[in-house]
Amino acid sequence: MNTADLVGTAVANTFRSKTRTILTVLAIFVGAFTLTLTSGLGTGINAYIDDTVSAVGSSDAMTVTKVQQDAAGATPGGSTGPTEYNPDAVSSGIPGNTVIALTPDDVDTISGIDGVLDVHAARAISPDYVQFDGGTRFTANVGSLVPGQTTLLAAGDQPDADSTDLQVAIPDSYVDPLGFSSADEAIGQTVQIAITDATRTQHLLDATVVGVTEESLTSPMGASLLPNDALSNALFDAQSTGIPADEADRYTSATVWFDPAATDADIDALKADLTAAGFTGTTVADQLGAITTVIDGIVLVLNAFAIIALLAASFGIVNTLLMSVQERTREIGLMKAMGMGSGRVFTLFSLEAAFLGLLGSAIGVGIAMLAGTALSGVLANGLLADLNGLTLIAFDPVSVATIIVAVMLIAFLAGTLPAARAAKADPVESLRYE
């Protein structure tokens, strides 16, 4: 009996006892279905993070801020009382959140730390409001992107850093309130941004809307206006009117670039040097670490349940094939009497086990992909509508193929015991079996 005959016989033998086969396949189906869905959940969320990670920053950069201390020299956070006023505190761009301003001297200090290749400081800009065509005025924050950083867009483009025109990208949440019917309709329109200087004089600047940003899990802008360099400079100059030059140059944070080939130990050493100098460095991995850790932990727990289901299914395979060996004892004896070797008999029953695994895993994976795709579509238009671009459950072909192969391997291993028993059967005793 050649290999093709062995495969054909194994497939045919699988359906000798249809009820037993169906029950065994259903047990495998449950494990494969669960494993596929949980794997797709991890793939979908991690892909979403990977797609938007450039909005947080590049992997060879970290955000540096000045360590905020209270009057006693301790960092805040350990007390629930009010925070002591600090004249050096500036808005971080997040409502209600302040940081200690960096000065040009601080930037020079950071530049001189071993391992720092380049530094880009972000200015603190606090506009009063934004409005369109004399309509309702809305408070706004101003964000900024460092070189190499991007943000998700609902329409239009990112402001051109090299353009001398005053350009801005507005958050998607501002489209309707400002009076635009859609994100696309906002592109090309002119909005007014008001900002007050130190002499309490309010300046009004006109800026062209070139893009509409989307809020996402990793968006650096949140609900902030995103100006180009020309508009950012104009706003900063207007805000700094009446302030001495040495007091005007105040920065919320600085982006530090280091060697892309730096090891974890090198990055930790750089963070330690920054801490010793009175600063705090945070990498992209630090910012996303908590998110990915929670996601991976949830997926791991769910995968554990799937593995348990597959282990339970493997006992079903052992039981099914042991009963099959017992029922086909005379048949096994006849095959061996006609010259089929023990290795071929072992292979025949092992193929039956592997086919049960293939059948259960293929059905489980197929139905899981259909269910996962449908569920993602429903959630994307409902509960998760605010997380633009998120496909909660996504399926990677390599992962799907790996699951099928893994389930078949588990089934094959489960079938080795009954296959070995069949292979060891004595042909004479088997032919006498009643």
Side chain identity, residue 244: P
Per-residue pLDDT tens digits for 251-260 = 878 888 898 8
Ordered by start, the domain boundaries in the chain are 3-53+291-432, 60-282
The encoded tokens of residue 113 equal 């730390």
Q: How confident is the model at residue 387 (pLDDT cuts 50, 70, 90)?
A: low
| Residue indicated by tokens 């902030």 | 224
Distances (CA, A) of 331 to 5, 146, 417, 434: 16, 75, 18, 11
Per-residue pLDDT tens digits for 247-306 = 667 787 888 889 888 888 999 999 999 999 989 888 877 766 666 777 777 777 777 877
* Mean pLDDT value across residues 173-181: 92
Query: What whole-number distance in Å separates Cα of residue 15 and Cα of residue 163?
Result: 72
**For residue 244, what pLDDT is reported?**
75
Query: Residue 63 CB: number of other CB atoms within 10 A?
Result: 21
Q: Which residues pair with 196 in a beta bridge?
A: 202
- Closest residue by Cα to residue 150 from 57, 259, 247, 286: 57
The encoded tokens of residue 159 equal 């402001």
Query: What whole-number distance in Å separates Cα of residue 85 and Cα of residue 112?
Result: 30
**For residue 195, what pLDDT is reported?**
94
Longest CA–CA separation in the chain, Å: 109
Bridging pattern class, strands 202-213 and 153-156: antiparallel
**For residue 203, what pLDDT is reported?**
94
**For residue 386, what pLDDT is reported?**
64
Is 217 strand, coil or helix? coil
**For residue 399, what pLDDT is reported?**
87
Q: How confident is the model at residue 67 (pLDDT cuts 50, 70, 90)?
A: low
What long-range pairs does 375-380 form, CB within 8 A, spacing at least 24?
376/44
**For residue 76, what pLDDT is reported?**
47
Per-residue pLDDT tens digits for 121-133 = 877 788 999 999 9
